[in-house]
Structure 1
Amino acid sequence: MYRAILPEGQIICARYEHTDTGVELFDEDDAFVAFVPYQSLHALLDEDVYSGEERSIM
């Protein structure tokens, strides 16, 4: 599973595909979930490395 981080929230998906202008997100059944333009995408993380309880120091 992957987690797309956007300014207004997060979207969880099973897979994604890069396009010229953004990423297309799909669920476990290969159904289209969302299109996210690169300008709105802050990060695309593998769920194995993401923990909502960890904090980063900037």
Structure 2
Amino acid sequence: MYRAILPEGQVVCERYERDENGVELYDDDDRFVAFVPYASLHALLDEETYESDERSIM
């Protein structure tokens, strides 16, 4: 699982694909969830990093 960190909040997804202009996010059924432009993407973290790192990522 991955977590896309945006200025407005977060989007959780199973996988992602990089595009020239941003990332496409997909759920565990391989359904499209969202497109996030690179300009709006603060970070894209795997769940293991998100849950184990004690530092603030916001």
TM-score between both structures, scaled by the size of structure 2: 0.89
- Matched with 1:35 is 35
* Identity across the alignment (%): 74
Which runs of 5 or more residues in structure 1 are unaligned?
none
1:11 and 1:4 map into 2 onto residues whose CA distance is 5
Which runs of 5 or more residues in structure 2 are unaligned?
none
Greater share of residues in helix: 2
Q: 1:49 deviation in Å?
A: 1.0
Q: 1:55 deviation in Å?
A: 3.7
| RMSD of aligned alpha carbons | 1.6
TM-score between both structures, scaled by the size of structure 1: 0.89
| Equivalent AA in structure 2 for residue 41 of structure 1 | L
Q: Secondary structure at the match of 1:50?
A: helix
1:6 and 1:50 map into 2 onto residues whose CA distance is 14
- The size of the alignment, in residue pairs, is 56
Q: Which of the two has higher C-alpha Rg?
A: 1
